[in-house]
Amino acid sequence: MTAVSGGSSRRRRGLIVSLVAMLVISFGSLFLTLAAGWSPKLGLDLAGGTQVVLTPAKGHSLSAGQLAVTEQIIRNRVAGIGVSGATVQTSGNPPQVIIQVPGIKNAQKVLGELVTTAQLLFRPVECFALPYQRAAPVHGKPVKPPSPINLPPCQRQLTASVTQNPSFQVVPNANNINGYTVTQLAPDPTFTNIRSVTPLTDSIPGVEKKSVIEPGLPGQPAISTIPNSRYVLYGAVMNGTAISSASAQQTTTGQWVVNCGLTAKGSVQWDHWTQVYFHGYMAVDLDGVVQSAPLIQPQSATWSSFQGQVQISGSFTQGQANALAIVLQYGSLPVPLQVLTYSTVSPTLGHDALVAGLGAGLAGLAVVMLYVLLYYRLLGLVVLLGLAVTAALLWAIISALGQTSVAPAFDLAGVTGLIVSIGITVDSYIVYFERLKDETRSGRSVRTSLDRGFASAWRTVLAADTVSLLAAVLLYFLAAGSVQGFAFFLGLSTLLDIIVTWFFTRPAVSLLGRNERLTSLRGVGVARGLAVRPGAPA
């Protein structure tokens, strides 16, 4: 008897911990989100903003591959300038690129920053710089940061000649996995209070010949002693027109590399500048970001001609190698783009539709909740509180994702996905309660029906939610535009339903069903909600 009692006590504690943890996480995250001032990033139909439709300039055309590259380049620029909630998609024949930027009413600003045909540049690395830090105020007044161009010289230069800078040693070494060893240099503190160049500034004619500071692409291997160090770059010595082809390939040893073919003119230029900066870093610069900064022939003791073929190696994954190959092949926009249409979208229509939709949804939800409370009595409160837990988690997650570029913007399609998910969530509760009814009809008490009823209901809920989740995933990856938003938020809600059912609904109903007083409460108890006959075991 002692073992059974101890096991029952531990089970009860486990249920309480699960229930309390779920309540703390859901409402705690909601409170933290509200305290941080975060909210969902609204789509164009709810927030208003600008829509720009681009098409190839007269006399130019885009292949399918170039269209995909164009979309990705513009998407990267959107992320780079910090525009929240923007979407980029392609459609039509002839192809069009559609940019939607919520919250920005000035279409010319969007055009100026996103549609510039940037140049892919090759810049030798002069030295490294620490991550940017704003200079401390002087006498209470902020210090204006220096210009990110026309920089002072580095104090720790990575010069081409080892004899000029003996601290920077590139030594061929066949015993090393890379085939060479190199001394990593600390960043130069001279540039700490100087901002990195912006993508827009980096594209201005004439700036390519000036020294600039640029950040590296996230995920690059560290080549400085300080993570996230920036690059201080000399003026560009070449541009992307020197590259005739680029592709990612896997070597016989399993390493991913990028092989580039050079044009006749580009081959001559490359040989000249790599000889000048032999054993130095050559940065690949696109839109003010260093895409890669390989060492020039580190496995060779002396310089030799590349013969028009360049291989960039490193600790690349397949995805990183493919991305670099695309940058080198289509660094700038493949063809000039012209504006087909641009328009300012008012949020009024979307707001009216949102109010009407939410009003209808809340009215329907109120009717459903009233029915659930009348039909399931005390168990109806579990449904009510469970929906509140789900709503709190959804708000917190969607608001947090709104601070990133991971999730689609929250538009009317997303609202529709959430409303549809309410039905899925309520169904999960009803499936569980009806399984409990089946158990009690067979003569079992409420207490003994809990585990068997949940085990049966859990299989059904899991199967139904899995089908819904798979449908949402397929829609998200196969569809585009607003349908993706619908699929994303439907899938998110479905995933939360699985979590809430296990960690909230299961312990909440189990604790209620194991409380004899609440089970037998006259008129509204658990037994009454499960339609247990009077006199039957509760």
DSSP assignment of 299-339 equals T-SS----TTEEEEEEEE-HHHHHHHHHHHHSSS-SS-EEE
* Distance of alpha carbon 28 from alpha carbon 22, whole angstroms: 10
* Distance of alpha carbon 260 from alpha carbon 291, whole angstroms: 15
For residue 504, which of 21, 19, 27, 24 has the smallest C-alpha distance?
A: 19
Cβ-count burial 130-147 (b if 16+ within 10 Å, e if not): bebeeeeeeeeeeeeeee
* Distance of alpha carbon 289 from alpha carbon 535, whole angstroms: 76
Locate tokens 């060479």: which residue?
180
Structure tokens of 40?
A: 């969902």
Q: Are 493 and 394 in contact (CB under 8 A)?
A: yes
Q: For the chain, list residues with pLDDT below 70.
A: 1-7, 76-86, 103-119, 156-168, 199-200, 203-205, 219-222, 330-334, 336, 347-351, 405-406, 480-481, 529, 531-538
> Alpha carbon of 233 to those of 190, 206, 237, 353: distances in Å?
14, 15, 11, 52
For residue 252, which of 298, 293, 313 has the smallest C-alpha distance?
A: 313
For residue range 400-410, list pLDDT tens digits in order: 887 776 677 78
For the residues of 132-151, what is the DSSP string, one character each? P-PPPPBTTBPPPPPPSBSP
For residue 415, which of 20, 23, 22, 45 has the smallest C-alpha distance?
A: 45
For residue range 260-294, list pLDDT tens digits in order: 999 999 999 999 999 999 888 899 887 788 888 88
Supply the pLDDT for residue 114. 63
φ, ψ for residue 425, nearest 5 deg: -65, -45
pTM strictly above 0.85: no
Amino acid present at 439: E
Supply the pLDDT for residue 305. 93
Structure tokens of 258?
A: 């990028």
Question: How many other C-beta atoms are found inside a 10 Å radius of the C-beta of residue 456?
Answer: 17
* Distance of alpha carbon 90 from alpha carbon 67, whole angstroms: 8
- Please tell me whether the peptide bond between 145 and the residue prior to it is cis, using omega within 30 degrees of 0: no
Cβ-count burial 414-426 (b if 16+ within 10 Å, e if not): bbbbbbbbbebbb
Cβ-count burial 310-341 (b if 16+ within 10 Å, e if not): bebbbebeeebbebbbbbbbbbbbbbebeeee
